[in-house]
Amino acid sequence: MSNLFHIPENHSQRFSLHNEIHARPPIPLKSPVSASLLALKLNTQERIEERNHLESLCQRFGINPPPAEATHFIASFDHFLFHWEQHGEFSSYSFYVNSVDTTEPFAKPALDYAPMDWLDKLTGQTMLAIHAIILPADAQQLNVENVSRYFEGNTVVGATVTGRDAQAFTDFRIHKDGFSRFVILDKKLQSQQAGRLMQRLFEIEIYRVMSLLAFPLAQELSPKVSEYEQRLSKITNTMAEPECDDGQLLDKMTLLAAEVESHISRSQFRFGAAEAYYKIVEQRISDIREERIQGIQTIGEFLSKRMHPAVSSCKSTSRRFRLLSERISNASQLLRTRVDISIERQNQALLTSMNLRAKIQLRFQETVEGLSIVAITTYIISLIHSAAKALQSTQLIGVNPDLISGIAIPFVLVFVAIAARRLHKQIKKSD
């Protein structure tokens, strides 16, 4: 019976998220194998050029190029197997061949099988270059002293890995050809198992180098964070003094905060990436399941002793900057509170002064109003007196004008005062 159910519309990223677990699969390898890897750090423009350059390689060998949205690509060319991966900050190019000279395995590495003119035009900055080989193990090669000849007599680190199915060795040095080296001795590796082991060893080296990109930055910023801590301490000590200039201190604090935040913005990504890369290194070391070979250090032990202090220094510098930023924020808040209180006090004093001035003006205004009432009364009485004199001259009244003026004074004064008071009330209502 057919299924009549139709699932709802797919999310736009359903299939890409589902297939992410299958991304970057290991390449099946069967010993003997020679491999070369290049890891290049690229900017935005170089990533565009990288795509075009990759397409030119595919066109040369008649291979379909990867889709525009692809971040990894595997193809078999005439004499070598090619694997390209694009990561956040870098891209890796891996080359594999099954032709190995067991007496001199690094005399003709896998990279020599790729077109030299194409390799010369690769864009980006080389972060890592590795030659690696997988050789069948025999009694002679299991001797660690014999393995060291592949590393020009350098001190070798290594271990039995992947459940005792192989041994992996390296010296973590860049040799005269500009490449570092890995040697894998195959006891009974399956092809998928060999591919995973090679991929994990490559990733250990890639992410080791990428994580250490933050170490020079930590060394550069460590003296600066010490300087900033001293400046903050000086500012906070000055804040405790009774006669300090809060405004000037706030300006210094603001400048210090801007400098610290600038360095945090510049270094935050690098320090965060270093921590993430280092976790991948630790995970890959765990994945290869190392077992100690008597007399030599394991890869994990060697890297832990050398990388842990560097990564810890990066973490310490990042943490010191974060704590410094928090201390500056707290001190700035305290200083702004003091400045605000000082401003409020000044405003309160200013309001008190303005209130006093307003009272003085009110008193002065009341005095002027009193004088104005007297002046208006005098003017009106003068008019009444003139009118009374005019009437006396016409003999309409026989009363003395001075008497009329004198009697009218209190009435006029009361009338003017009442009129002025009503005028005040009307003005208050309009306000």
- Summarised one tens digit per residue, pLDDT across range 175-212 is 999 999 999 999 989 999 999 999 999 999 999 999 99
Question: What is the domain partition of the chain in residue ranges?
Answer: 20-210, 214-349, 363-430
Task: Write down the CATH number for the domain with range 214-349.
Answer: 1.20.58
CB-CB contact of 152 with 212 (8 Å): no
Question: What residue ranges of the chain have pLDDT lower than 50?
Answer: 1-2
Rounded Cα distance between 40 and 373, Å, is 97
Q: Is 41 helix (H, G, I), strand (E, B) or coil?
A: strand
Sequence-separated (6 or more) residues with CB below 8 Å from residue 68: 51
- 248 φ/ψ angles, rounded to the nearest 5 degrees: -65, -40
270-308 CB burial, b ≥16 within 10 A, e <16: bbebbeebbebbbebbebbebeebeebbbbbebbbeebe
72: amino acid identity, one letter: H
Angle at which helix 299-393 crosses helix 246-287, to 10 degrees, equals 150
Query: What is the pLDDT, as a whole number, of residue 1?
Result: 45
CA distances, 75 to each of 38, 60, 62, 203 (Å): 17, 13, 11, 20
CB-CB contact of 30 with 98 (8 Å): yes
Q: Are strands 180-186 and 125-136 parallel, antiparallel or unpaired?
A: parallel
- Region of 395 (left: φ > 0; alpha: ψ -120 to 50; beta: rest) is left
Dihedral Cα 68, 70, 74, 79, nearest 10 deg: 30
- 364 φ/ψ angles, rounded to the nearest 5 degrees: -65, -40
The token pair at 422 is: 């009503």
Extended beta strands in 162-307, E state? 166-170, 180-186
| CB-facing half-sphere around the CA of 218: CA atoms within 13 A | 23
Q: Positive or negative, the Cα torsion across 113, 115, 117, 120?
A: negative
Query: What is the pLDDT, as a whole number, of residue 398?
Result: 63
Please give the DSSP secondary-structure letter assigned to residue 110.
G
The token pair at 394 is: 């016409």
CB-CB contact of 36 with 113 (8 Å): no
183-195 CB burial, b ≥16 within 10 A, e <16: bbbbbebeeebbb
CA distances, 324 to each of 233, 236, 261, 339 (Å): 11, 13, 10, 22
Query: What is the pLDDT, as a whole number, of residue 3?
Result: 56
CA distances, 238 to each of 72, 232, 245 (Å): 59, 10, 9
Rounded Cα distance between 284 and 290, Å, is 11
Task: Please name every residue paired with 76 in a beta bridge, in sequence order, or none if there are none.
Answer: 81
417: amino acid identity, one letter: A
The token pair at 224 is: 């600066």
- Summarised one tens digit per residue, pLDDT across range 323-351 is 999 998 888 888 888 777 778 888 888 88
Query: What is the pLDDT, as a whole number, of residue 21?
Result: 67
